[in-house]
Amino acid sequence: MLKRIALTIRFGLIIIVLAHGGQVRAEIAGNMGTAVPGSATNWSAAEPTAISAESPTTPRPRRVRIGLKLTPYKKIITQQLNGQINTRYIQANPLRHTLKARLNESNHFYLGDWHIETVPTKWTKQTGDYEIDIRVSERYGPYGQLEEDLGHFLVKGKLVEQERDIDVLVGVARQRFRDKFGNPQLDAIAGYVPDGDLPPLSMTSGPANTATR
Q: Give yes or no: residues 100 and 163 share one domain.
A: yes
Number of domains in the chain: 2
In a domain? residue 10 = yes
Dihedral sign of CA atoms 140, 143, 146, 150 in order: positive
What pLDDT does 19 receive? 52
Q: Give yes or no: residues 11 and 103 share one domain.
A: no
CA distances from residue 19 to 12, 14, 38, 99, 203 in whole angstroms, order as listed: 11, 9, 12, 77, 87
Q: Residue range 179-191: average pLDDT?
A: 93
Q: Give the range of the structural domain holding residue 26, as residue numbers without chain letter.
A: 1-35
Q: Residue range 56-63: average pLDDT?
A: 72
The one-character DSSP state at 204 is: S
What pLDDT does 44 receive? 46
Q: Give yes or no: residues 13 and 105 share one domain.
A: no
Q: Which residue has the higher pLDDT, 38 or 80?
A: 80
In a domain? residue 68 = yes
In a domain? residue 194 = yes
Q: Give yes or no: residues 69 and 158 share one domain.
A: yes
Lowest mean pLDDT among 24-38, 51-65, 77-91, 197-211: 197-211
Q: Which residue has the higher pLDDT, 119 or 77?
A: 119
In a domain? residue 130 = yes
In a domain? residue 41 = no
In a domain? residue 53 = no
The one-character DSSP state at 83 is: S
